[in-house]
Amino acid sequence: MGLCFLLLFLSISSSLLPFCASQGIIAPGKYISANQTIISASGTFALGFFSLRNSTPRYYLGIWYNKIQKKNVVWVANRESPADSLGTLALGVDGNLVILDATRKTVWSSNVKLADSAINKTAGLLMDNGNLVLRRDEAILWQSFDHPSDTFLPGMRLGYNRKTGQRRQLTSRTDAEDPQPGMFSFGIGTTGGPQFYIWKDNDPYSRSDVYSNSVSYAKLSKLRPFAYYLTINLKGDDIYVTYSASENSAILRVTLVPDGRIELLLWQEINNDWLSLWHWPSTYCEFYSQCSPFSSCDPKGSQDHCKCLPGFQPKVQQEWDMRNWTGGTCVRQKGIEM
């Protein structure tokens, strides 16, 4: 390990010392800022600051793939509170991970209530699975996996806890270049039977079938000799979905893109790009309420996706002829009684 050559002191209630990127740990008295990063033990992920290319600079703390040339940020700490100047990540006086702007104002905190005895004994660690944790000894006090951005990584859990009410769900970006929260979110619904939802401005946009039991799926990739596994847990208080790959070298991520689609992506080093293995919604019928009451949706319909149920007919045929299936209500045909 090379020696840290930058020996500057910053007074934030105490003197802080910048540290070598390879250490991967934020310990009391150490911080990262500007172009410094910390790297997970295996070198897979990096944590550091980045800015957007626009007329008004905004700075974020994020996690990205360290070994991939394209900076695909998978988690952003302060996406709701970007700093207008280069920040500093350190352990605050209360033992939490904090981001301070140039004026030493706190713009983000892990915000954990800590006992006085634990305040000076915490540390931050970037793990090999992309999870940033605040811990005391081996106990995890806070983790970024419980506060996802727009990306679902292998080993992460999305869902909710019946007892605590805590929800873990994705929220899209505003657009491809802006990590601030967008209009779409993805997770497991908390009412009715467990099913996946994509919400648009908190209203249902697409939903899956209802799951009645815990299930596991295995899917073989046609592109490489590996499988990826999806597990849905409905037992106990913690209701969640998680996934993994059979081959550690396969780099996978699930992302909720700004237009409201969930995509499973595989990194292809040979093409230096991400390949979409699967996306949802993929057909007209997978969008929420695309057909009016008393009608059904045919995903194989080349043009007419919606059809009135047997015994019903369009109330306004002109609406259906114009393919306005959400506004064109189906009504019972005359002369037919139940």
Q: What is the pLDDT of residue 8?
A: 25
pLDDT digits (tens, 9 = 90+) for 129-177: 999 999 998 899 999 999 999 999 999 999 999 999 999 999 999 998 8
- The CATH number of whichever domain residue 198 belongs to comes to 2.90.10.10
Whether omega for the bond prior to residue 281 falls within 30 degrees of 0, making it cis, is yes
Say if CB 37 and CB 61 are below 8 A apart: no
Statement to judge: residues 173 and 298 lie in one domain: no
Statement to judge: residues 261 and 309 lie in one domain: no
Statement to judge: residues 191 and 300 lie in one domain: no
3-state helix, strand, coil in the chain (%, to 5): 5, 45, 50
Q: How many folded domains does the chain comprise?
A: 3
* N-to-C CA span, the chain: 80
Statement to judge: residues 2 and 97 lie in one domain: yes
The answer for residues whose C-beta is within 8 angstroms of residue 221's C-beta and 6 or more apart is: 227, 228, 250, 266, 277
The boundaries of the domain holding residue 319 are 291-332
Whether 239 maps to a domain, the answer reads yes
Q: Which neighbouring-strand residues pair with 135? A: 123, 140
Task: Flag residues of the chain having pLDDT under 50.
Answer: 1-22, 338
Is residue 58 exposed (0-12), middle (13-18) or buried (19+ Cβ within 10 Å)? middle
Whether 31 maps to a domain, the answer reads yes
How many C-beta atoms surround the C-beta of residue 127 within 10 A? 19
How many C-beta atoms surround the C-beta of residue 302 within 10 A? 6
Statement to judge: residues 174 and 261 lie in one domain: yes
Whether 337 maps to a domain, the answer reads no
Return the ∠ at Cα 235 (arms to 230 and 240), rounded to 5°. 40
Whether 116 maps to a domain, the answer reads yes
Q: What is the pLDDT of residue 76?
A: 97
Statement to judge: residues 309 and 183 lie in one domain: no
Q: pTM of the predicted model, to two decimals?
A: 0.83
Q: Is the dihedral of CA 273, 277, 282, 288 positive or negative?
A: negative
Q: Name the domain boundary from 147, 171, 191.
A: 147
Alpha-carbon distance of 163 to 107, in angstroms, equals 30
